[in-house]
Amino acid sequence: MADTGLPARRAALKLIEGVCSEGRLIPEMIGGLDHLSAPDRARAQRLALQTLRHLDKCDRVLKPYLKKTPPDLVMNILRLGVVELCEDGAAAHGVVNSGVTLASKLPRVGHMKGMVNAVLRKVAAEGPGAWAKAPASRIPNWLRGPLMQAWGRKAVETMEAVAAQTPPLDITAKGAPPEGAVALPTGSYRLAQYSQVTKLDGYASGAWWVQDAAAALPVQVLAPQSGEDVLDLCAAPGGKTLQLAAAGAKVTAVDDNANRMQRVTENLLRTGLKAKTVVQDALTFEGQFDAVLLDAPCSATGTMRRHPDLPHAKDGSDFGALIQLQAKMLRHAMTLVKPGGRLVFCTCSLLPDEGEVHIDELELPSDWHIDADACRLAGVQDHWLTSEGGLRLRPDYWADTGGMDGFYIACLRRAA
């Protein structure tokens, strides 16, 4: 009998290979799964993300059974098998046979199918016990080092434990949240268990949208008022645009990516909210606004609990260029604020160089100041507030209920 799980496993392997060997992110590769049925496509994505979430843990379980490290492609077949056997508790027969089949049909590694068979059989027999005892996967060294320096060992190990879990679904609601959603201290809602997002009550009618609780705070810091002219720079995929519009502001959303801006338009239509959308480079956009929100392009390291592919696809080599771009965008965004207005700068990064350092080193004109009080929001704890007047959010906060994305947020205010 043919293994009905093979197409999904083959696709999952391709995604893992794309991340680990080619440095590609999974969203870039999703289009390559269109030939699969919807269940197989969903299963392939889940298997790939689970394997990437537990990559280091897989290697620890495999180590006793490998005399030497096999080629990357074979190693990824084994990792995929370990996740199914030890994390999912899948039947050993199907997992082992699929691993052998995957190896046998791939060029240059077909001769290693016997090794794949032997190793996965040993993992099936002994691996679950080792898996249960092994610590959470470590963040790759290129990122772990800077995070240890910034936040310390205990914080990083807690971040790793949070990143090992499938994250909950966070929601910003303008109507009723779906049944079972729990209110968070900062005003978002959280679903610990869910299946298909688009089938949840209230999604189709636009009562709410998916947005991490941390990502919802920059708009709260900006505190948009009804009727204000508000600019959302680098707006896609649009969660903050929706928040601004729901507050009654007259919103202009700007992003240079037409495909991502299409998602903003679709979400506005679904939720019945209004905003002017502009596809343009933020650095060339001109105008004067009561309030400006700049969610600057960054390393996105704060989102790794939701995107476990990110630390394995990147290596930190683009940090320097991103930091320079953020500084340039921040200076330009300040020119778009009317007298008496304010600017919120934020990044979904865990690295101080992409957050605190920008504000700490910013040479403010005499008519500008940092508004530290704007960050004192309901649900925000004192130790989240930073010495230069900003707000630092990290995955190890709320760790016992699923954590939150890493963000840095600061509010700058211009005198009237």
| pLDDT tens column, 262-281 | 999 999 999 999 999 999 99
Q: How far apart are CA 379 and CA 163, in angstroms?
A: 22
The percent of residues above 90 in pLDDT, for the chain, comes to: 95
* Relative orientation angle of helices 6-22 and 72-82, to the nearest 10 degrees: 130
Q: To 10 degrees, the CA torsion angle through 133, 139, 144, 147?
A: -90
4 vs 324, residue with greater confidence: 324
Q: List the one residue out of 158, 160, 211 whose CA is nearest residue 181.
A: 211
Q: How many CB atoms lie within 10 A of CB 331?
A: 12
Q: How many CB atoms lie within 10 A of CB 282?
A: 24
Going along the chain from its start, the domains and CATH numbers come out as: 6-133 (1.10.940.10), 210-414 (3.40.50.150)
Q: How many CB atoms lie within 10 A of CB 78?
A: 24
Q: How far apart are CA 372 and CA 387, in angstroms?
A: 9
pLDDT at 106: 84
Q: How far apart are CA 59 and CA 133, in angstroms?
A: 14
Q: Is the pLDDT of residue 56 over 50?
A: yes
Mean pLDDT of 195-208: 94
Average pLDDT value for the chain: 96
| pLDDT tens column, 357-384 | 999 999 999 999 999 999 999 999 999 9
Q: How many residues does the chain have?
A: 416
Mean pLDDT of 199-220: 97
| pLDDT tens column, 343-352 | 999 999 999 9
pLDDT at 271: 97
Residue 128: cis peptide before it, omega within 30 degrees of 0 = no
Mean pLDDT of 1-27: 89
Side by side, the strands of the sheet bearing 208-210 are 182-183, 189-191, 169-173, 208-210
Residue ranges of alpha helices (H) inside 207-306 are 217-222, 239-246, 258-271
Annotated catalytic residue: which of 20, 234, 348, 375?
Answer: 348
Mean pLDDT of 126-130: 95
Q: List the one residue out of 411, 389, 247, 291 whose CA is nearest residue 344.
A: 411
pLDDT at 1: 40
pLDDT at 110: 83
pLDDT at 4: 66
pLDDT at 108: 82
Helix (H, G, I), strand (E, B) or coil at 306: coil
Q: Is the pLDDT of residue 58 over 70?
A: yes
| pLDDT tens column, 60-116 | 999 999 999 999 999 999 999 999 999 999 999 999 999 999 999 888 888 899 999
The answer to whether residue 298 is catalytic is: no
pLDDT at 291: 98
pLDDT at 292: 98
Q: Is the pLDDT of residue 2 over 60?
A: no
Cα torsion 223, 229, 235, 239: sign: positive
The helix (run of H) or strand (run of E) holding residue 10 is helix 6-22
